[in-house]
Structure 1
Amino acid sequence: MPLLLLKVNRLSAVFWDVDGTLADTEMDGHRPAFNLAFKELDLPLVWNEALYNRLLTIPGGLRRVKFHAEACGVHLSQEQLEQVRDRKCVHYLERVRQGHVHLRPGVKRLLQELSRAGVQQWIVTSSGSASVMALLEQIKMQIPSFDGVVTSDEVASGKPAPDGYLLALERSGANSAASLAVEDSAAGLSAARAAGLRCLLTPSPWDVHALRDSGDEAAAVLDHLGEPGQPATVLSGPSCQEGAVTLKYLEFLLSVPDR
């Protein structure tokens, strides 16, 4: 559909997922941090990359731990789960400080463009507050400040439930029709759509479900947000002529009739 035939809507807010969307946090950040926590606490659990790929279909780190432990016949008390969480956060922060976690292509560029344009930017994540704040502390010199953060600690149910997005919409005062979510997973896409938000999907390499199940639910699906010399590939949705997701492209997504 030609852009000139559409009335382009002004974008008021963008809600960002963190793990796999803002940054490549999973394989070289969270996974080894969990393994170090398991070892310290003498738990018979080890997550290699293939196993972690499968576990990532479960939103939320402690939910993954509980699920895998039970599958291995290991019962963990709430106290043990909290110990895993606390030790994992320590190791994750150290991994971030050591430079193992990097922003995904185009994230810094788009964050800066949206900030200059006065668009609200919020984080909505299934991760806990400690992990999110650890990452933000380390990358704060690279990116603009976010207007707010909603983590799994603040809602009854994480993604794919819409609770986090609904809370972010309430706090931000943003109109869902003039807002958009950026996600990397099938669970995140479902959460955004259930909250009445259009969603730009940049799937993580490990989430095959995000590509397989996105169908008509995502406003667009791209391999990443695009950088000069590293153009994004549109996998579904309107073409991205600049080879990079921009404010103009996001506002165009708001203007295209919802599928």
Structure 2
Amino acid sequence: MPLLVIKVNRLSAVFWDVDGTLADTEMEGHRPAFNKTFEELNLPFHWDEELYNTLLAIPGGLRRLKVHAEDRGVMLSQDQLDQVRDRKRLHYLERVRQGHVKLRPGVRRLLKELNRAGVQQWIVTSSGSASVMALLEQIQNDIPHFDGVVTSDDVSAGKPAPDGYLLALNRSGADGAASLAVEDSAAGLSAATAAGLCCLLTPSPWDASALCDASKNAAAVLDHLGEPGGPATVRSGPTCQDGTVTLKYLETLLSVPDR
């Protein structure tokens, strides 16, 4: 009987989602920024955590608002949507600067390890450039420099469409078969896999139940990336030694059986 040999690919690039993956931006960043904007513009909305949790299934902040408004019989004009976008952006940036938005467990550690190993690291997000750059400015002294950024401003279709990942692959020149996406949502997982990428899923605490059906398409699902003394829990996929996601673990996810 032939032996099963596991071939481990060297990791070429990691593509990071931002909201809910790189940092906990949603509940303490975007949500209160939207609520303050609704108050200022006299719009009849308020998103508590339970409602916002449900709305997170809709990728993209303005799309989320438009769908929610229409469900409530409110038709927002393009001018109103533009006003919401501009004001909400200012409030979100202020919350980032005030330190309300924190990196998720294990992110800083893994970013640094991959940087030391010479692995390309890119951001691929459905958020706009201004929001992303504000976060990066706030945390730039704690993390390595990213090799590139692809935001919703760079593509015509956001997640779950694969456009952002395809553009990042093209710009980076990375080998897609030896690259990996890190995501937290069903839409992000769909976008990554549609682009032919292996995907590690780290669901946000409020998204976990919604991802049960989608997780079968992920290479692995963990509650976070893990820290020494704060190990991650593997929900599906290979066992994670010491409960921390490392370069070695990511390369294991790229492994293919070779007889």
Post-superposition shift, 1:188?
0.5
Q: Give per-residue Cα distances to partners, 1:155-206, cap 9 Å, x unaligned.
A: 1111111000000000000111010000001110010000000000001112
Give the match for residue 74 of structure 2: 74
Highest RCO, 1 vs 2 (Cα 8 Å, sep ≥ 6): 2
Counterpart in the other structure of 1:26: 26
Amino acid at match of 1:56: L
Q: Which residue identity lines up with residue 210 of structure 2 in the other structure?
A: H
Indicate the SS of the match to 1:158.
coil
Per the alignment, residue 89 of structure 1 pairs with: 89
Which segment drifts farther, 205-214 or 62-71? 205-214
Q: Secondary structure at the match of 1:229?
A: coil
Answer yes or no: is the 8 Å Cα contact 1:165–1:191 preserved in 2. yes
Q: What's 1:48 paired with?
A: 48
Summarize the alignment of residues 193-232 of structure 1 with structure 2, pairs less than 5 Å apart: 193-207=193-207, 208-215=209-216, 217-232=217-232
Q: CA RMSD in A?
A: 1.1
Measure the CA separation in 2 of the matches of 1:36 and 1:137: 23
Asked if 1:101 is matched to 2:105, the reply is: no
Q: What residue is the counterpart of 2:238 in the other structure?
A: 238
Q: Which amino acid aligns with 1:130?
A: A
Structure 2 length-normalised TM: 0.95
Aligned to 1:141: 141
Say if 1:227 and 1:244, in contact at 8 Å, map to a contact too. yes
State the alpha-carbon separation in 1 of the partners of residues 242 and 164 from structure 2.
Answer: 32
Q: Is the counterpart of residue 253 in structure 1 residue 247 in structure 2?
A: no
Judge conservation of contact 1:29–1:92 (CA < 8 Å) in 2: yes
Q: Does 1:188 align with 2:208?
A: no
Counterparts of 2:75 and 2:194 in 1: how far apart (Å)?
A: 33
Q: Give the Cα separation in 2 of the matches to 1:144 and 1:15.
A: 14
Q: Distance in 2 between matches of 1:139 and 1:67?
A: 32
Residue equivalent to 1:159: 159
Q: Give the secondary-structure state (helix, strand or coil) at the position aligned to 1:224.
A: coil
Distance in 2, matches of 1:255 and 1:157, equals: 31
- Compute the displacement of 1:243 (Å): 1.2
Q: Distance in 2 between matches of 1:87 and 1:99?
A: 19
Supply the distance in 2 between the matched residues of 1:213 and 1:181 (Cα, whole angstroms).
15
Q: Say whether the 8 Å CA contact 1:203–1:211 is kept in structure 2.
A: no
Distance 1:256 1:203, change over 3 A: farther
Equivalenced residues, count:
253
TM-score, scaled to structure 1: 0.95
Q: Distance in 2 between matches of 1:140 and 1:210?
A: 31
Q: Distance in 1 between matches of 2:25 and 2:214?
A: 23
Q: 1:190 to 1:101 in 2, by over 3 A?
A: same
Is residue 21–residue 104 contact of structure 1 (8 Å, CA) maintained in 2? yes
Query: What secondary structure sits across from 1:59 in the alignment?
Result: coil
What is the distance in 1 between the residues matched to 2:244 and 2:5?
Answer: 22
**What is the CA–CA distance in structure 2 between the aligned matches of 1:153 and 1:79, rounded to whole Å?**
18
Cα deviation digits, residues 13-58 of structure 1 (max 9, x gap): 0000000000001001000000011111111111111110110000
> Percent identity among equivalent residues?
79
| Per-residue deviation, 1:211 | 2.8
- Extract unaligned runs of 5+ from structure 1: none
How far apart, CA to CA, are the structure 1 residues paired with 2:133 and 2:75?
Answer: 29
Tell me the CA shift for residue 5 of structure 1: 4.0
Q: State the Cα distance separating 1:78 from its structure 2 match.
A: 1.2
